[in-house]
Structure 1
Amino acid sequence: MRRAWWPRSLAGQAIALQVLVITIVVATGSILALIDARQDGDAAARQQVVSIATALADAPSTAAAIESHRATEILQPVTEAVRTDTDIAFITIMAPDGIRFTHTDPRQIGGPYIGTREPALRGETYTEVYTGTLGPSVRAIVPVRNTRGQVVGMVAAGITQQTLAQRWRDQVPAIAVVGLGALALSLVGVWAIRRRLLRQTHGLRPDELRVMYEHHDAILHSVSEGLIVLDRNRVVLANDEARRLLGLPPGEVKPEDLPDFLRSYEPGVRDELHVTEDRVLVVNRSKVAGSASGGQERSDRGMSESEVVTIRDRTELQGALGELSSLQVLTDSLRAQAHEAANKLHTVITMVEMGRPEDAVTFATAELALSQRLVDRLSDDVGEPALVALLLGKTAQADERGIALTITEDTHLPGASEGLPLTPQEIVTVLGNLVDNAMDACDRDDPWVEVTVSLDDDELLMRVADSGAGMDADTFARAMQRGYSTKSDGGTEHHGLGLALVAQVVARHGGKLTADVTYGSVVTVTVPRAA
């Protein structure tokens, strides 16, 4: 079971662990500093007593005083003066047999030295920790030689361990202040980190964050819409559907892998249509809003340039809309023809009532022959019923709008069974959009549109010309990429899908889409014939 004193949130657990580690580190460091200070004090004490004893032993006056048999009288004042100046416990000068000539306590003069003398008698400098008349001490004993090199005495200098302990304890407050200061500074930093973590994790526990991640990850992989999170020049996230719709590579997604319309920061876009090589996509873009507490911080770091992009596939829907549009054209054509037939029927009846039956027959026969001639020619030259229906419908639609639509004599297309490179639906999409664009763009003072559809051994050709001014190369390129249109609609321009859908079908089959201005604005589609 979870301990009641252990924090529940991720921030609390992380900070508790950091506080524990910092406390252990600071405490351990302080203890090691105290141990090091003690060891340094012992080493310094040994070096100090060795230096003092060596200096006195090497002084010629020391050996001379010992050989003069007045050692105590001469050397006692000197050793006491040196001891007082160096703040050590004792300086003892003795004879080779250990009898003291000097001592801190005058009553000990003439008594035997308590300690190790053999190394000094062999001419060596020796240090040890020994308990003498003043208690445990760190001491050094150095031989005194005369001018002939003979050992005539010894000098011992020492510092009591009580004095060393006091020196060591004097350093404890400074070490404690430094340790507590480091601990306090670390805790302040940890507290600041805790506040930041609480803001970023919203106080959630590790298990709650794990469950949230697993749920969000499952949702992102299962939703039917593409989802991309962009942060400045970085792709933070792209789910499976987004990768499929945009053809993104596996693994990390780089900005250059995205299509052009996602490489700019444009939050607020709603239901914008974009055409890729094989899809029609609906794109929505929303700015990532920071929380109330962290919004300014996010803005300062540039997080305001983060956005969420959702992408929906409208390819199949767009195909259905294209077919519906074709049916609508046929419906409008039938309606217009019915209306026109009614007018002509009334004219014929009126002529008969006026007693002019010959004129009525001539009028009816001429109109019927004209319409039938077009139907017969298209039926003979075009073997694809969907294309025949489209051309008849567009002819009626153009006639209703006062536009002269001509289907050239070069038009010739066999049926689908003879190896068309496009399906009937794709032919309707390509030619229907081209004719619609031409009727919208033709010159209102001289409105005409010319259509040619032919198939030879090498390729399928569809050419639509109109009396309009046409588009320059840049405008035509934008129209193929994003559905840009120059149609006037209460503004200077708007975006559609006509040429973009045409370009999509043509690119899918390895064809070419070109535009030029010769006898009019001419748009030509060529698609290689299937092997």
Structure 2
Amino acid sequence: MLHSIREGVIALDPGGRIRLVNDEAARLLGLAPDSADAVAGRPLDDVLGEGRTTDVLSGRVAGRDLLTVQGRRVLVANRMPTRDGGAVATLRDRTELEHLSRELDSTRGLIDALRAQDHEHANRLHTVLGLLELGLHEEAAEFVTEVVGVHRSTAEQVTEKVHDPLLAALLVGKTTVAAERGVPLRLADSTLLPDRLVDPGGLVTIVGNLVDNALDAAAGSAAPLVEVDLHAEGRTAVLHVRDSGPGVPAARREEIFTEGWSTKQPSRHRERGLGLALVRRLAQRQGGSAWAGEAADGGAEFSVVLPEALR
């Protein structure tokens, strides 16, 4: 019966040794299909190695519906202690749901950017209309020429450095969002990313989340600024997002990547504290890493390294 259900089940004894692994658990954990008997009696740490999955299943990380990444799969794990001091853990596959969630976040980021551009264009059209109604035709022509030049210049500056069209569109849109909030958004001189991304949608989600957080942090600073540094080192994509905000205390630079952690007020319509957790999970899924540090001029600097991100 245990081997026939579509939920992974692992039983552990009080010493952390595996009692049973059903077929679905073996599949989700990347074990050989016929390895159930072979791993019985072995310590969990020896079978899976070090990592978050082992920590969750062993109980070193506690909680309900904990997310963990094993290979290319995103799993939801729950652990229930047994009377003899052991435990039974269950695993569910959330890979497809996580993929859809990532695409939704990417789409939401682009929609927000397009909404900001639409708002900006509406204001400009109202200005042109007012100038024409006042009979200031020359001033209207100069205003249109200036606006078109600024927009074209911004788009050209981004596309010269970021060749992937999806990511370039996001950055152009975020520049408009930043301008409306009074925060300059600039690309570092070292930014240069070719159009060879294996998963552009994933990088759009990462960049979008980090830029949004940076804009929130920089908006209240004396000299607001957000800088994006995105470049390739061989097949590795390297991203740094710096802001002029208050920064992140060294003691909390790991805590902020915990799911549910947020400095913002909770919303009735949307769960808070998922952005940075999602950034780290996406990075780890590609064998990479994400961490927080201090920018050279103060403020926070978030870094992401994605090995094998380019073809």
Q: Which amino acid aligns with 1:359?
A: E
Q: Which amino acid aligns with 2:158?
A: L
| 1:383 to partner: Cα distance | 1.4
Separation of aligned partners in 2, 1:495 and 1:475: 17
Pairs within 5 Å for 1:159-308? 216=1, 220-229=2-11, 232-234=14-16, 235-247=18-30, 250=35, 251-252=39-40, 254-256=43-45, 257=48, 259-264=54-59, 269-276=63-70, 278-285=72-79, 302-303=83-84, 308=88
| 1:473 to partner: Cα distance | 5.2
Task: Determine whether 1:451 maps to 2:228.
Answer: yes
The residue number in structure 1 matching 2:190 is 410
Separation of aligned partners in 2, 1:450 and 1:522: 9
Say which SS state the counterpart of residue 59 (structure 2) adopts. Answer: coil
Q: Is the 8 A contact 2:182 2:219 kept in 1?
A: no
In structure 1, runs of 5+ residues without a counterpart are 1-215, 289-301
Q: Which amino acid aligns with 2:28?
A: L
Indicate how the Cα distance of structure 1 residues 498 and 280 shifts in structure 2: closer, same or farther if over 3 A, else same: farther
| 1:341 to partner: Cα distance | 1.5
The residue number in structure 1 matching 2:151 is 371
Q: Which amino acid aligns with 1:240?
A: D
Task: Determine whether 1:428 maps to 2:201.
Answer: no
| 1:343 to partner: Cα distance | 2.1
Q: Which amino acid aligns with 2:231?
A: S
The residue number in structure 2 matching 1:387 is 167
Separation of aligned partners in 1, 2:205 and 2:155: 21
| 1:233 to partner: Cα distance | 4.6
1:447-494 C-alpha deviation (Å, 9 max, x unpaired): 4321111225574321110123433555334555x5464433359xx9
Q: Which amino acid aligns with 2:55?
A: D
The residue number in structure 2 matching 1:190 is none
The residue number in structure 2 matching 1:49 is none
Indicate how the Cα distance of structure 1 residues 367 and 509 shifts in structure 2: closer, same or farther if over 3 A, else same: same
1:119-169 C-alpha deviation (Å, 9 max, x unpaired): xxxxxxxxxxxxxxxxxxxxxxxxxxxxxxxxxxxxxxxxxxxxxxxxxxx
Q: Is the 8 A contact 1:382 1:414 kept in 2?
A: yes
The residue number in structure 1 matching 2:98 is 318
Q: Which has the larger radius of gyration?
A: 1
Indicate how the Cα distance of structure 1 residues 523 and 266 shifts in structure 2: closer, same or farther if over 3 A, else same: closer
Indicate how the Cα distance of structure 1 residues 285 and 513 shifts in structure 2: closer, same or farther if over 3 A, else same: closer
Separation of aligned partners in 2, 1:495 and 1:354: 48
Selected match of 2:242 from 435, 452, 465: 465
Q: Which amino acid aligns with 2:76?
A: V
Say which SS state the counterpart of residue 324 (structure 1) adopts. Answer: helix
1:207-239 C-alpha deviation (Å, 9 max, x unpaired): xxxxxxxxx2xxx22333222345655454432
Separation of aligned partners in 2, 1:330 and 1:273: 26
Q: How many residues align?
A: 291
The residue number in structure 2 matching 1:92 is none
Q: CA RMSD in A?
A: 3.5
Say which SS state the counterpart of residue 281 (structure 1) adopts. Answer: strand
In structure 2, runs of 5+ residues without a counterpart are none
The structure 1 segments of at least 4 consecutive aligned residues displaced by more than 6 Å after TM superposition are none
Selected match of 1:438 from 214, 218, 223: 214
Q: Is the 8 A contact 1:274 1:483 kept in 2?
A: no
**Structure-1-length-normalised TM-score:** 0.47
Identify the structure with the greater helix proportion.
1
Indicate how the Cα distance of structure 1 residues 401 and 306 shifts in structure 2: closer, same or farther if over 3 A, else same: farther
Q: Which has the higher contact order (CA 8 A, sep 6+)?
A: 2
Indicate how the Cα distance of structure 1 residues 396 and 273 shifts in structure 2: closer, same or farther if over 3 A, else same: farther
Separation of aligned partners in 1, 2:225 and 2:201: 26
Separation of aligned partners in 2, 1:384 and 1:512: 22
Indicate how the Cα distance of structure 1 residues 225 and 307 shifts in structure 2: closer, same or farther if over 3 A, else same: same
| 1:349 to partner: Cα distance | 0.9
Say which SS state the counterpart of residue 3 (structure 2) adopts. Answer: helix
Percent same amino acid at aligned positions?
A: 40
Separation of aligned partners in 2, 1:277 and 1:479: 24
Separation of aligned partners in 2, 1:483 and 1:270: 12
| 1:340 to partner: Cα distance | 2.2
Q: Is the 8 A contact 1:485 1:495 kept in 2?
A: yes
Separation of aligned partners in 1, 2:120 and 2:306: 38
| 1:321 to partner: Cα distance | 1.6
| 1:352 to partner: Cα distance | 0.8
